[in-house]
Every structure is written in C-alpha cells, then in structure tokens.
Amino acid sequence: MSKSKNVEIKAHCSDLERIRKILIDKNADFKGLDHQIDTYFNVRNGRLKLREGSIENNLIQYNRPDQAGPKQSDFALFKTEKGSGLKNILEKSIGVKVIVDKQREIYFIDNVKFHLDQVNNLGTFVEIEATDLENTKTSAYLNNQCQQYINLFGIAEADLLTNSYSDLLLDK
C-alpha cells in the first residue's frame, strides 16, 4: 500500500475533443480508455472507493476538502484484482454508499495525470491530478502544475467542481 498526495481539479467540460487535441499536441502519453466502476462505501472519515476497470483496479482511501479550484488530496492506494471478492466483503461489512460508472481516457505528462471522463447520469468532465508518489514535491509545486494546465485548457472558474462524482450523484 502506498501513501501519497496530489493536487487536483475536476471540471465540467463540454468539449472533450478540444482538451484531447491539446494533450496530443503536448505529446501526452495516452494510457487507454478505461471503463471504471467506482463503488463508494460508507465510512466515517474521508472517502473509500473500490475502482474496478480494465486498466486501473485499486482500493482507494482519501481525504480531500470540498472546494472549487486546486485542492490537495491525501490518499492511500491498495492494488486489487478485479473479481477478487473484496467488493463483496466491503459491501457486507460497511455497505455501499453510491456507484459511479464512467468511461475514462487516461493521459500523462510527467507526474501530471489527466482524465477525460464521460460519467453516466452526470455528463462530461476533465480532471487534472498533479501527483507526488515519491513524496518529493511540495504542495505549492503541485498546485502550480495544476494551475498551469487549468490555464492551458481554458477552464472557467464556474466549471470547477467542489466535490466528487459520488457527491453529485447523491445530490441528484
């Protein structure tokens, strides 16, 4: 299990093709299209989700403030295997809060990860995550990286989300 931090944003995006073109022009490393099912569980502190996809499969516990703009997220990641039975154990022991079903394009430029998301029942979004897996970068450095891409993509402040897809679905 690894403990890390990132500075991230999530924003509504009505033109994923424009963001995709910018990423391609910047020679971003395209990792693929991942159909992800994120199952959020009932927990007292932070958030706990099991991500099941064709590329990414992890149990993720994280704490992140609900605010617009770049925000630091402290997280612990545990690599899992799809269909391992972990989901069944968590469902029975702590219960499911909500399920997020999305198609996600994953790109990287250095330590910055980009998601172009089509989320069932919510719409289209872009995420920027400036990540520090080795715990060698300051939060200010990660925040600056995130802000550079917000500016490059022309993301309007009004499009920035304060919370997660899970919260948006629960509010519907």
DSSP string, the chain: -EEEEEEEEEEE-S-HHHHHHHHHHTT-EEEEEEEEEEEEE--SSSEEEEEE-SS-EEEEEEE----SS-EEEEEEEEE--TTSSHHHHHHHHH-EEEEEEEEEEEEEETTEEEEEEEETTTEEEEEEEEEESSS-S-HHHHHHHHHHHHHHHT--GGGB-SS-HHHHHHH-
Single pTM value for the model: 0.91
- Kindly report the CATH class assigned to 2-171: mainly beta
pLDDT at 123 over 80: yes
Q: For residues 166 and 97, what is the distance between their CA atoms, to the nearest angstrom? A: 9
What tens digit of pLDDT does each residue of 140-166 get? 999 999 999 999 999 999 999 998 999
pLDDT at 133 over 90: no
